[in-house]
Each structure stands twice: as C-alpha cells, then as structure tokens.
Structure 1
Amino acid sequence: MKFSFAHNNINVLDLQKSIEFYEKALGLKETRRIESEDGSFTIVYLGDGVTPHDLELTWLRDWDRPYNLGDNEFHLALRVDDFEAAHELHKEMGCICFENEAMGIYFIADPDNYWVEIIPSHM
C-alpha cells in the first residue's frame, strides 16, 4: 500500500480575494473548480504548475465570520528560486507576518490569516 499527497484544504471567507492573493503572492493558478448545485459551497484547486500537489480553497455560502485558527500552529510551505525577489514582493504586499533571519525563512499571512512559510530553494 502506498499513499501520496493530493491536496491541502483551507476554508476561506472571500474566495475571489484568496484566489487573487495566492496568484499574486505565490503564482498559484486555478486548476479546477467544484460548485454545488444549490450554491452552498465552491471548491477551487490551485496548483503551482510543477508538482501535482494542490491547495484546495473551500468557500461556504452560509459562513459569515472569520475562521477560528486556534493558535495557528500549522502552515503551508513553499520553496522559491529567487528568495530575495519573493521577499521584496511580499514586503510590498504587506503580508509578511514573521521572519526568522537566523534560519533564512519567513512567513506570509493570507487574507484569512493562514500562514505560508517561504523557503529558499537550496533548503
């Protein structure tokens, strides 16, 4: 028996805002979409165009408040080939929420305050 990653899911309050953030901040593009017949939910899969792993964004029509992320001790992580350019972009976007210069990494926060770790490609 062998398992392989398919996707990670996060629920989002404003689907379009989240899609735009992930495209601008990380270059992720929509790969497919599922919409319920009754309009109660939409699921959008975003991919990096390199790996088969997707980020699944789930929007629920009846959800009307920010998601409770608890202590927010979980995160996604992406490697980037031009760390300095990525850092500059994220600094301009105002989405850097934590930097660990000693480790050579930083985190950005998406519109729902989910954290994404940015790692240089050599790590």
Structure 2
Amino acid sequence: MASGAEAEKVVPSNDVLEWVKKDKKRFLHAVYRVGNLERTIKFYTECFGMKLLRQRDIPEEKYSNAFLGFGPEDSHFVVELTYNYGVDKYDIGTGFGHFAIATEDVYRLVETIRAKGGNITREPGPVKGGTSIIAFVKDPDGYMFELIQREPTPEPLCQVMLRVGDLDRSIKFYEKACGMKLLRKKDNPDHKYTIAMIGYDDEYKSTVLELTYNYGVTEYTKGNAYAQIAISTEDVYKSAEAVDLVTKELGGKITRQPGPIPGINTKITSFLDPDGWKTVLVDSADFLKELESH
C-alpha cells in the first residue's frame, strides 16, 4: 500500500489530466518561416483570398511577422509568417505535410491561382476511390496546400498535416496532453498509410491536425522552415504539468517552462511531442489582451 506521501503525488497528477479534458483549448496559429514576406502575403491574399490581419517588424531581433487568415484572430485559426532578415530559403524537411483550405469550388480556386502564376501540383478532381474533390498547390516557398471542396465553413483554414512515426502513440499523446479528440482514423493499405484527424471540434467546422503514418517509416527530417502550432489554454501552469506527465509516459519534452514572455507578459509554455513537433500553449486571456493592444 502506498504511503501518505506517495498517495499525495498520485492524486494531483490524475486531477491535472482530468482538468485537461475540461480546459477550453483552441488552435490559434501555425508559425513558419518564409524567404520573402511581401511575396507570400501577396500570394495568400490574391490566390487564397486570405486577409492580412496584422504585421510587425522587430528590427532589434532582425525579424518581421505577418498574420493572415480568413477571419479575426480571436475566433479563427491563422498563419503566422516569420521573415528573418537576410534569409531567403528554408528546408521544409520530410516530416511536414501540408496545410488545407476548404472552399466551395476547388476548380474555380485553382483557375484563380493558375492565373496568378501559382504552382498547381495536383489538378482538381476526386480523390482515388472516393468522391471528395481536392487539388494541391505549392506556395512560393514550397509549402504544400491541399484545397478541399466543401460546403461553406466557419473555418476555411482547416488542416495542418504532420507525419508521425507511431500513430497510436501520437493520438494518445495529443488526447492526454492537449485534450484533443480523435475525430476519425482511416487506413489506406493500397497506398501504405494511415491518417488520424484530431482536434477540438467537428473537422468540417474547425481546424484539425491530420497525423499521417506511412507504413514502416518511424522518423522524418524536420528541416528549419515549419516551426510550431499555437493552442490557447485557460491555465499554462496546469497544462504544462499535464504535458510533463504525458511526456514521461509517451516521450517528448517541455522546452519552455510556463510563465510570462518578457516584455509582453503573455504567459506561455512550449513542448515537443514524441516525434519532435513543437506546440506552444498560450494563456487565452493574455492572448486576447495582446490582440487588443495591436
């Protein structure tokens, strides 16, 4: 039988994992690096129909940011582009898959992108063995975007696809550490891969993570282009405690202990999952305050 001290250690950990299930989390943004900020802004606004939401230059740190999406940051998932002074090329690596945009008419969107000189890597049409209409395009830096034909959705920027080495481990990690739900899982033996859609709401109404396992492939290169995904949380301290527990069981590690960012005072914590993909958890109330100050 456990001593009093040992019993005390166990109870809080169970409490914090239960708390994760109740925490109101939301995907905020994906952060990645581009070689020419104005070129990418032009491509995303003219080809995809995104809006430039805000832009900032930090000369003392030698970088600039731009936030783009299909709606305001307090309610929509957006992309945060980072330009580091003097760096015009990045390695995307083999692990990052794609972003996805839902649109009512893939064929029309592809024609718009083609007219603007965009790189169409898969012409629009039904998926093999299915009825969904999709296309693939590459942005100026080589990031892949899947275009998916769907009814109107509140969240057109609908997927971030990452490749993982052990799908069940990854699903378990994000469920326990981040409170995500497994929305669906699909095995495709003909093409030797399995996918899992995980997130916080219906995949047709919100942004989801699409995790892909390719048969027999357990490791991927990360490159230096894609950086991380940011998710809001009601309490970065409790969240970090839960993540720390889950990393001990499944792998990964906390890379930034919870606390305020100097100068901004927004509280964050960050971690790597078992495959080395980075997530930043951001205090919800602090994030909204930060938006109001811009």
Shorter chain as denominator, the TM-score bin is 0.7 to 0.9
The answer as to whether partners of 1:8 and 1:54 remain within 8 angstroms in 2 is yes
* Bigger shift: residues 6-15 or 93-102: 93-102
Q: Which has the higher contact order (CA 8 A, sep 6+)?
A: 1
Q: What is aligned with 1:59?
A: 213
Q: Which runs of 5+ in 1 are unaligned?
A: none
Residue 98 of structure 1 and its aligned partner are, at CA, apart by 2.4
Alignment of 1:77-96 (within 5 A): 77-94=230-247, 95-96=253-254
CA 1:33–1:92 in 2, change beyond 3 Å: closer, same or farther?
closer
Q: Does residue 116 in structure 1 map to residue 269 in structure 2?
A: no
Q: Give the structure-2-normalised TM-score.
A: 0.38
Identity %: 27
RMSD value, Cα: 2.3
Residue 96 of structure 1 and its aligned partner are, at CA, apart by 0.8
* Bigger shift: residues 5-14 or 85-94: 85-94
Q: Which has the larger radius of gyration?
A: 2
Q: Deviations along 1:44-69, whole A, 9 cap, x unmatched?
A: 100113861100000000424x1111
**Alignment partner for residue 268 of structure 2, among 100, 105, 114?**
105
Runs of 4+, deviation exceeding 4 Å: none
Q: Which runs of 5+ in 2 are unaligned?
A: 1-47, 50-69, 71-155, 248-252, 262-266, 288-294
Flag the structure with higher helix content: 2
SS for the counterpart of 1:74 is strand
Q: What is aligned with 2:185?
A: 33
Q: Does residue 24 in structure 1 map to residue 182 in structure 2?
A: no
